[in-house]
Amino acid sequence: MVFNSIHFVAFFVVAYALYRALPHRAQNWMLVAASYYFYAAWDWRFLGLLAGSTVVDFFVARYLWRATDPGRRRWALVGSLAFNLGMLGFFKYFNFFEESLAALFATLGWQLDFVTLNVLLPIGISFYTFMTISYVIDVYRGDIQPADNFIDFALFVAYFPHLVAGPILRASLLLPQIARPRTIHRTQVVEGLWLVGWGYFQKMFVADNLARLVDTVFGPSATPTGLDVLVATYAFAFQIYGDFAGYSNIARGVSKLMGIELNVNFLFPYFVTSPQEFWRNWHISLSTWLRDYLYIPLGGNRGGERRTNRNLMITMALGGLWHGAAWTFVLWGVYQGLVLVIARRIARLGGARGWRVPAGLTWPRVLLGLVMFHVTCYGWLVFRAESVAQLAEFSRLLVTDLRPSASTVGSLLVPCVLTIAPLLAVHIHQARRGSELAPLAAPLPWRYAVYGAVFYLVLLFGDFEGAQFIYFQF
| Helical residues (DSSP H) of 201-303, grouped into ranges | 208-218, 226-257, 275-281, 284-290, 296-298
Contact segment (CB under 8 A) with another protein among 15-23, 34-42, 209-217, 386-394 equals 209-217
SS3 161: helix
For the chain, the maximum distance between any two Cα atoms, rounded to a whole number of angstroms, is: 71
Considering only residues 88, 131, 171, 213, which one is a binding residue for another protein as defined by CB under 8 A? 213
| Burial class (CB within 10 angstroms; exposed 0-12, middle 13-18, buried 19+) of 411 | middle
Q: x/- binding map, residues 413-432, to another protein, per CB under 8 A?
A: --x--x--------------
Cα separations in angstroms, 85 against 91, 152, 322, 424: 10, 23, 11, 39
Nearer to another protein, 105 or 448 (CB): 448
Q: Which of 73, 212, 374, 429 binds another protein (CB under 8 A)?
A: 212
The count of C-alpha atoms lying within 13 angstroms of the C-alpha of 57, restricted to the half-sphere facing its C-beta, is 32
Shortest Å distance, C-beta 462 to another protein: 9
d(C-alpha 289, C-alpha 284), whole Å: 8
Task: Kindly tell me which of 168 and 210 has the beta carbon lying closer to another protein.
Answer: 210
From 62-70, 189-197, 369-377, 456-464, span contacting another protein (CB under 8 A)? 456-464
How far apart are CB 242 and another protein at their closest, in Å?
17
Instruction: Answer yes or no whether residue 359 interacts with another protein by CB under 8 A.
Output: no
Half-sphere exposure of 377 (CA within 13 A, CB side): 21
How many residues touch another protein under the rule CB under 8 A: the total is 24
> Of 75, 90, 105, 456, which lies in the binding site for another protein, with binding defined by CB under 8 A?
456
Q: Counting contacts by CB under 8 A, is residue 441 touching another protein?
A: no
Task: Give least dist CB 449 to another protein, A.
Answer: 5
Q: Does 435 bind another protein (CB under 8 A)?
A: no
Residue closer to another protein (CB basis): 299 or 466: 466
CB of 447 to another protein, least distance (A): 9
3-state secondary structure of 184: coil
Indicate which residue of 7, 162, 283, 323 is catalytic. Answer: 323
Residues in the chain: 474
Distance CA 434, CA 428 (A): 10
Residue 83: Cβ within 10 Å count: 19
- Please select the residue that binds another protein; options are 103, 360, 410, 441, rule is CB under 8 A: 410
**Please, which of residues 218-277 interact with another protein by CB under 8 A?**
221
Q: Which of these segments, 179-187, 262-270, 300-308, 457-465, binds another protein (CB under 8 A)?
A: 457-465
Q: Binding to another protein (CB under 8 A): which residues in 109-138? A: none
Of the listed pieces 11-19, 245-253, 403-411, 419-427, which binds another protein according to CB under 8 A? 403-411
- φ, ψ of residue 283 to 5 degrees: the values are 45, 60
210 binds another protein (CB under 8 A): no
Neighbours of 365 (CB within 10 A): 15
Per CB under 8 A, the list member of 411, 430, 435, 473 interacting with another protein is 411
Asked if 449 interacts with another protein (CB under 8 A), we say yes
Instruction: Tell which residue, 194, 184, 249, 195, has the closest CA to residue 27.
Output: 184
CB of 427 to another protein, least distance (A): 19
The residue within the footprint of another protein, chosen from 95, 149, 216, 473 (CB under 8 A), is 216
Find out whether 279 and 341 touch, Cβ atoms under 8 Å: no
| Window contacting another protein (CB under 8 A); options: 123-131, 155-163, 194-202, 404-412 | 404-412
Residue 75 Cβ, how far from another protein at the closest point, in Å? Answer: 48
Distances (CA, A) of 179 to 65, 151, 153, 176, 441: 18, 10, 9, 5, 32
Q: Select from 95, 395, 407, 473 the one that contacts another protein (CB under 8 A).
A: 407
From the list 247, 158, 252, 225, the residue with the least C-alpha distance to 396 is 225
Choose among 404, 372, 387, 369: nearest CA to 230: 404
Asked whether the beta carbons of 84 and 113 are under 8 A apart, the reply is: no
- Rule CB under 8 A: say whether 468 interacts with another protein: no
Q: Does 354 bind another protein (CB under 8 A)?
A: no
What span, in angstroms and rounded, lies between the C-alpha atoms of 108 and 101?
11
SS (H, E, C) 279-300: HHHCCHHHHHHHHHHHHHHHCC
Which lies closer to another protein via its Cβ, residue 221 or residue 223? 221
- Catalytic (active site) residue 24: no
The minimum distance between CB 386 and another protein, in angstroms, equals 16
- In the complex with another protein, the residue whose CB is nearer, 411 or 435, is 411
Question: Which residues of this chain interact with another protein, rule CB under 8 A?
Answer: 6, 212-213, 216, 221, 406-407, 410-411, 415, 418, 444-445, 448-449, 451-453, 455-456, 459-460, 464, 466
Q: Which residues are catalytic?
A: 323
